[in-house]
Amino acid sequence: MDPPQGVAFAMQSGRATLVAPVSASPNTFVFEFSVSIADATSNPVRLTGEFAQGPASARFVYVNSGTYAGQTGSVWSRRAKISLADISPELVQSALKNGSVLESRIAGTGRDGGPACATVPLLSAWSLATSKRFW
């Protein structure tokens, strides 16, 4: 993710609930979230749940930073919008068949040196996770 130093990040669940990363280091934040599959055959796959934001045809998740992530006194107040629309029916079927989870990566720093914001491009396409972690 390569986030700017000293800036808090949190995923947004629903309208205002913040969810902390499951792990963090100076160079990476890892978030885990669940969505429900309303229709695995549509393209894009129709996803629902507390983390799935936006219209059914263009779902996304938010990663908030600075004050939007609960960091009082931060000079930053941003949200990165991460698209779920490129998750194909075939990828969902493969994940379900193998009991896998999906993963992707984004850059945590925007062009201006602050936290990534607005619609951010994926650094890697959604894919089956290379390692399974169960909590």
Residue 4 lies inside a defined structural domain of this protein: no
Q: Any long-range contacts for 98-107 (C-beta under 8 Å, 24+ apart)?
A: 98/128, 99/132, 100/128, 100/129, 100/132, 101/32, 101/128, 101/129, 101/132, 102/126, 102/127, 102/128, 102/129, 103/127, 103/128, 103/129, 103/130, 105/1, 106/1, 106/63, 106/80, 106/82, 107/1, 107/2
The answer to whether the CB of 11 falls within 8 A of the CB of 33 is yes
pLDDT band (50, 70, 90) for residue 64: very high
Structural domain count, the chain: 1
Residue 40 lies inside a defined structural domain of this protein: yes
Residue 133's pLDDT is 52
Measured over the CA atoms of residue 20, residue 21, residue 22 and residue 23, the dihedral's sign is negative
pLDDT band (50, 70, 90) for residue 130: confident
The residue-averaged pLDDT of 65-74 equals 97
Residue 135's pLDDT is 39
- Enclosing domain of residue 105: 9-128
Q: Higher-confidence residue: 54 or 130? A: 54
